[in-house]
């Protein structure tokens, strides 16, 4: 004997209750600060920089890696089998030095967009020292190119304009 089927009105009520529960759950999440779902801890809003990995990646004092949102700089390392070797692309070291000048040993403020982590577990953030956004500064100085990956598009237009201006002025990567 099969279980009795729900009437149409019972199904509608079930959908309505499920939708209400989902809405309440979503509102509760929206009012909480973002958290690191893997660790169940709040995402850092401010942190000291332990070291600069390359032109668009830093390590925080707690060991977490932060990949700058919206920008891409030339690489300084590449994978060779199971290990990494130093093999800088043109301007890779210059971009790393520029990033080091801007953030190393300083306390940074982190602003998140839609996604807070990449596939490698790194935090994804717009990084500030004081009121200056490091991501934008690297673009303006010509050490980075815009790299917009939806849904993290908050500053995409601003970043494109900064890169275009650096290109026209022949700064950094775009110089003689």
Catalytic residues: 67, 75, 122
Pairing, β 145-147 against β 65-68:
unpaired
For the chain, what is the largest distance between any 2 Cα atoms, rounded to a whole number of angstroms?
Answer: 82
Which has the closest alpha carbon to 131: 109, 146, 113?
109
CA distance 26 to 146: 32
Separation of CA 115 from chain center: 7
Contacting residues for 38 by C-beta, under 8 A, at least 6 apart: 117, 121
Which has the closest alpha carbon to 77: 99, 56, 104?
56
Phi (first) and psi of residue 164, to 5 degrees: -65, -40
Phi (first) and psi of residue 28, to 5 degrees: -65, -40
């Amino acid at each position: 004997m099969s279980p009795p089927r729900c009437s149409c009105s019972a199904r509608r009520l079930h959908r309505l209750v499920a939708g209400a529960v989902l809405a309440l759950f979503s509102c509760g999440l929206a009012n909480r600060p973002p958290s690191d779902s893997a660790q169940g801890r709040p995402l850092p809003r401010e942190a000291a920089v332990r070291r600069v990995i390359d032109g668009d990646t830093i390590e925080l004092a707690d060991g977490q890696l932060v990949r700058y949102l919206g920008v891409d700089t030339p690489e300084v390392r590449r994978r060779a089998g199971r290990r990494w070797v130093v093999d800088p692309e043109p301007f890779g070291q210059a971009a790393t030095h520029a990033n080091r000048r801007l953030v190393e040993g300083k306390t940074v403020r982190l602003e998140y967009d839609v996604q807070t982590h990449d596939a490698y577990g790194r935090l994804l953030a717009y990084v500030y020292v004081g009121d200056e956004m490091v991501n934008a500064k690297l673009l303006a100085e010509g050490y980075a190119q815009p790299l917009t990956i939806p849904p993290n598009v908050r500053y995409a237009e601003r970043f494109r304009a900064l890169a275009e201006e650096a290109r026209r002025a022949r700064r950094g990567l775009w110089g003689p």
